Structure 1
Amino acid sequence: MKATKRVGVWMDHATARVMEYHTEEQRIKLVTADHKGLDNQEGLQHSESLLHHKENQSIKAFYKDILNILKDYDEIVLFGPTEAKNELYNLIREEHKYDHLKIATLPADKMSYEEQHDFVVHYFKTLLNYESPFTK
Structure 2
Amino acid sequence: MKRVKKLGIWMDHSIAYLMEFTNNPFEIKTIESQFSIEEKELQISKKASVLINTEKHVLYEYYNKIGDAIKNYKQIILFGPSCAKMEFFDVLSEDERFLKMKIEIKETDKMSLNQQHDFILKYFANN
Q: TM-score, normalised by structure 1?
A: 0.85
Measure, in 2, the Cα distance between the counterparts of 1:22 and 1:46.
47
Question: Post-superposition, which runs of at least 4 consecutive aligned residues in structure 1 deviate over 6 A?
Answer: none
1:39 paired residue number: 41
Aligned residue for 1:11?
11
CA RMSD of aligned residues (A): 1.4
1:46-99 Cα deviation digits (max 9, x unpaired): 422112111111111111111111111110000001111111111111112311
Q: Is the Cα–Cα contact under 8 Å of residues 71 and 97 in structure 2 kept in the other structure?
A: no
Q: Which secondary structure state, in structure 1, belongs to the residue aligned with residue 69 of structure 2?
A: helix
Amino acid of the structure 1 residue aligned with 2:73: Y
- What is the rounded CA distance, in whole Å, between the counterparts of 1:21 and 1:67 in structure 2? 17
Is the 8 Å Cα contact of residues 8 and 76 (structure 2) preserved in structure 1? yes
TM-score, structure 2 as length reference: 0.91
Q: How many pairs does the alignment contain?
A: 125
Matched, 1:88 2:77: no
For 1:105, the equivalent position in structure 2 comes to 105
- Cα distance change, pair 110–23 in 1 and its aligned pair in 2 (3 A): farther
Q: Which runs of 5+ in 2 are unaligned?
A: none
8 A contact 1:38–1:54 mirrored in 2:
no
Between the aligned residues of both structures, percent identity stands at: 33
Cα distance in 2 for partners of 1:38, 1:110 equals 22
Q: Alignment partner of 1:82: what SS?
A: coil
SS in 2 for 1:76: strand
